[in-house]
Amino acid sequence: MAWLSVPHPRLSWSDALARVADAVALVCLHTPDGDTLLAVAPEVRALRGWDDLAALTARAADDAPTAPPTTPGWHAHGPGWVVQLDYEFPAAAGVAWRCAAYARWSASGACTLHATDAASLARLDAALDQPALACPTPTLTAALTPAWTAAEHGAQVERIRAWIAAGDIYQASLTLPVTSRLARSPNPDVGLFLALATQSPAPYAALLRAPGRPSVVSNSPECFLRQRGSAVWSEPIKGTRRRIPGAEIATRAHLLGSAKDRAELAMIVDLVRNDLGRVAVPGSVHVEAAAAVMDLPYVHHLVARVGARLRPETGFADAVRAAFPAGSITGAPKIRAMQIIAALEAGPRGAYCGTFGWIGAQHADLAVTIRTLTIADDRVRLHAGGGIIADSNGAAEWDEVRAKAAAMAAALGGTL
C-alpha cells in the first residue's frame, strides 16, 4: 500500500484539535513515546467479539506500506486502528476507528500529515486550516456524587477481606463510580481532554468519540499491552501514595519499602506472567522490572514490567484475549475476583478498566482505561478504585480512591 507523509506548518496538537472539535467521529491519542495522533472523521467499526479484533489486526498487517519506513516511530508503520474495549467486552461491543489519514506530532512538537492517498491527505489538510472552535472546560451543575459513602466503602473492603480469609481470592480491585451533570457547553469532551492534558499529563491519554456512544476521555498512566514485532510486554500498576509537594523523596521511599504494596504488585505480576504464558514462546516470559516508582502530578505508583515473545502462530489479538481484562484492575485469581467485583459494584464498569490504544502492523500500544471519564449528553461518569488484600484498611483505601480521582475532579472544578 502507498503511504504519503508530508510536513505541516507548525501547529500544536491542541490548536489542531480545537479546529476539528465538531467532527462526528474523532480520535486524539497520546502515547508513552511522546507522540500524539489526531484523526478526523475516521471510519468507525463495531467490534462484537474476539474474531472481529483478530480480523482488525490482520487488516492492519495487510495495510502496511510496501516501502520501508524512512522515519522512526509508530506512525511510520502506516494506517492502523485505534480501539476501545469496555471492561465487559465481548458481552459489550467495542469500537474501532480506522486511521487511514491522521496528523502526528513527535515528542519535539513537529507535525506531519499521513494518509493512504492524496485526496485523504488534502481533506485532512483542509480540516486543519479551519478556524478554531470554542472548547471551554465543562463545569458541573451538581456535586460529584459517589455511589456509596466512605463508611460503605470500608464495609465493602471488609467483605473482600472475608473472602480472602476464606481462601476464595488473594486480591480484588474494588472501584467506586462517581457521577454528576455538566452545564451545557460546546464540545465538552474536547474541553475536558484539554484541561486534563494541561493539569495532569499522563503517559497514555485519549479522546475517543464515535456516533451513538459516550465520549471517552482518559488520562491513564498504565500500560496494558504493547507490541513490537514478536515482543510483547505489560506494565501493571499496584500501590499508590498521594503526592505531597516537598515530600516526594520520602513518599517514594515509603512506597518502595512497603511490604503490603510490594506484595500486592507481586500477586499481579504472577497473574500477568500466567496470562502471557498462554500465548508466549515457552521460557520467554520474564519479569524485566519487579517494582519501580512512577511519579504523576497527584500520586506516586509502584509499577512492574513483564515481557514475552509471541509464538509464531499467535497474533496480537490472541495476546489481548489472553490478558484481558488487565489483572491489575481485577485481582487474583482473575475469574473469581471478577465474580466478586460484579457482586459488589454498582453496575457495569463500561469503558473504565477496559483498554484503548493503537493497533498497527506488528506495532501496538494499549493502555488500561483508568483515570477515565465518559460523557453522554449532560451526564459525566468517572471511577476510581484500588486493590484490596488481607491487610487493607478501609479508611486508607477510601483516601486512595479520592487521590486517584483528584485530577479528574479538579479538571471539572469539583472535589470528591
Of the listed ranges 63-72, 261-270, 344-353, the one predicted with least confidence: 63-72
How high is the pLDDT of residue 74?
46
Residue 335 is which amino acid? I
- Is residue 77 very low, low, confident or very high in pLDDT (cuts 50, 70, 90)? low
* Whether residue 238 lies in the annotated active site: yes
Of the listed ranges 64-68, 209-213, 215-219, 274-278, the one predicted with least confidence: 64-68
How confident is the model over 294-313, as a mean pLDDT?
A: 96
Using the predicted structure, report yes or no on whether residue 248 has a pLDDT greater than 70. yes
Distance between CA atoms of 86 and 100, rounded to whole angstroms? Answer: 24
How confident is the model over 342-356, as a mean pLDDT?
A: 96
* Whether residue 397 lies in the annotated active site: no
Burial of 143 (0-12, 13-18, 19+ CB in 10 A): exposed
Report whether 299 contacts 243 (CB < 8 A).
Answer: yes
How high is the pLDDT of residue 67?
57
Helical spans, DSSP H, in 282-359: 316-323, 334-344
Element (H, E) at 307: strand 299-309
Report whether 27 contacts 97 (CB < 8 A).
Answer: yes
Q: The domain 145-179+224-367+378-411 belongs to what CATH superfamily?
A: Anthranilate synthase (3.60.120.10)
In the chain, what are the domain boundaries? 145-179+224-367+378-411
pLDDT digits (tens, 9 = 90+) for 102-113: 999 999 999 999
Cα angle 37, 42, 44; round to 5: 120
Catalytically annotated residue among 222, 345, 397, 400:
222
Using the predicted structure, report yes or no on whether residue 416 has a pLDDT greater than 90. no
pLDDT digits (tens, 9 = 90+) for 367-384: 999 999 999 999 999 999
pTM of the model: 0.95
Catalytically annotated residue among 235, 238, 397, 400:
238
pLDDT digits (tens, 9 = 90+) for 11-24: 999 999 999 999 99
Nearest to 367 by CA among 219, 267, 200, 190: 219
Using the predicted structure, report yes or no on whether residue 254 has a pLDDT greater than 90. yes
Residues 6+ apart with CB under 8 A from 224: 234, 323, 324, 326, 355, 357, 366, 367, 368
Cα angle 272, 278, 284; round to 5: 75
How high is the pLDDT of residue 78?
79
Rg (CA), the chain: 21
- The chain-wide mean pLDDT, for the chain, equals 94
How high is the pLDDT of residue 361?
85
Nearest to 84 by CA among 359, 310, 319, 329: 359
Percent of the chain with pLDDT over 90: 89
Distance between CA atoms of 250 and 13, rounded to whole angstroms? Answer: 36
Distance between CA atoms of 144 and 180, rounded to whole angstroms? Answer: 5
pLDDT digits (tens, 9 = 90+) for 308-334: 999 999 999 999 999 999 999 999 999
User: How many residues in the chain?
Assistant: 416
Provide φ and ψ at 112, rounded to 5°: -135, 150
- Give the single-character DSSP code of 77: G
